Amino acid sequence: MNTRSVARIAWLIPALLAALTLHQTFTAIDLNRTLEEGAPAWAEVTRYDRSDRKDVTNVSLDLLVHLSDGSIFERKNLALPYSIGHRVESDTLQVTVLPGSAQEVVITEIGKTQVRIAMSNAAMSFIALIMAFVGVIAWNRLLKKTSAT
């Protein structure tokens, strides 16, 4: 594979970073929408699992949400980073539910923190996108100059 082909394939890096930026932005918007427009409810924690790995500690929850109309909504494998997951170590939690949305259940106590984390991730990936975009453009211009001489 020659350098020109690699330079063309390098455009995948800014494209993937753009997709990540959009994903995290929409995640933050969806979380915030659920918090603002959703209905408050109580949830039973049916499973709380903390995995203690050296590199990352995660918390995984299963929730049984009791809606105000008497129905029950189940949410399985809700993954949280331990930095905020330890704040939800209890048998019941206050949640906000917006059925049909991308983020149907948000734990009310940590919801705003999750929005800020998603927006921070979007900002960091956007900065990386700009850096990668400038780098790929510079590399392609350099290749064009060196091939012209």
Q: What's 11's DSSP letter?
A: T
Provide the number of structural domains found in the chain: 1
Residue 8 · residue 137 · CB < 8 Å:
no
Q: What integer pLDDT is reported at residue 3 of this predicted model?
A: 82
Q: What integer pLDDT is reported at residue 148 of this predicted model?
A: 74
Give the number of other Cβ atoms within 10 Å of residue 59's Cβ: 20
Q: What integer pLDDT is reported at residue 41 of this predicted model?
A: 95
* Residues 58-94 pLDDT 10s: 889 999 999 988 899 899 998 888 788 878 888 999 9
- Report the b/e string of 21-35 with b at 16+ CB within 10 A: beebbebbbbbbbbb
Listed as ranges, residues in the chain with pLDDT below 70 are 54, 149
pTM: 0.85
What residue numbers bound the domain in which 128 lies?
3-148
